[in-house]
Amino acid sequence: MLDHATLRTGDLEGTRAFLESVLDLKPGYRPAFSFPGYWLYVAGEPIVHLIPGHGGPVDRAGESIDHVAFRLVDHDGMRRKLDELSIPYSRMELPELGERRLFVRTPNGILLELVFRERKSEFVGHEDVSDAVRLKNDLDAAPSVKEA
């Protein structure tokens, strides 16, 4: 069971503000570590930890975490919010899973996947999941473009 994700960023304040405005995460208690950072909460739980990083491009061929996904509600409302904030996004429709997804990047380039489950899916065969992974990889390779 995933407890939280820790994101390294060269822009603590910008990343915190982005996550607050897009995902409605709220900064909260964080132990007095010897380095700066934030713990961002939803429903009383610290699900994202932000710590300083040096920035720079990620070697997408190397071993690293590719993205962090958040299960949310109100797909259309989130699209309106992203449009109002002028945040570019790409979309993915996965009807076999009963899901719609939006992909956004933080100001310093961290990929976030926003997952909206419209219904509980039936068991999905291996081939269908592979197709979804290939589609996601195609989206990762494409430039981020906001769709109307």
Q: Say whether both 46 and 73 belong to one domain.
A: no
* Stretch among 44-48, 84-88, 136-140 having the lowest mean pLDDT: 136-140
pLDDT at residue 51 greater than cutoff 70: yes
Q: Indicate the number of domains in the chain.
A: 2
What domain range includes position 101?
64-148
Q: Say whether both 68 and 48 belong to one domain.
A: no
- Residue 59 placed within a domain: no
State which H helix or E strand residue 130 sits in: helix 126-141
Contact 104, 62 (CB under 8 A): no
Contact 57, 110 (CB under 8 A): no
| CA separation for the pair 108, 89 (Å, rounded) | 15
What is the average pLDDT score of the chain? 83
Q: Is the dihedral of CA 118, 138, 47, 107 positive or negative?
A: negative
pLDDT tens for 91-139 read: 999 999 999 999 999 988 899 999 999 876 564 554 444 455 555 555 5
Tokens of 83: 């449009």
Which 3 state secondary structure label does DSSP give 131?
helix
| CA separation for the pair 123, 32 (Å, rounded) | 45
Q: Say whether both 109 and 133 belong to one domain.
A: yes
pLDDT tens for 11-31 read: 999 999 999 999 999 999 999
Quick one: pLDDT at residue 40?
97
Quick one: pLDDT at residue 75?
96
* Stretch among 39-48, 75-84, 87-96, 136-145 having the lowest mean pLDDT: 136-145
Contact 129, 38 (CB under 8 A): no
pLDDT at residue 65 greater than cutoff 90: no
- Residue 78 placed within a domain: yes
Q: What is the pTM of this model?
A: 0.75
Residue percentage of the chain with pLDDT more than 90:
62
| CA separation for the pair 69, 15 (Å, rounded) | 16
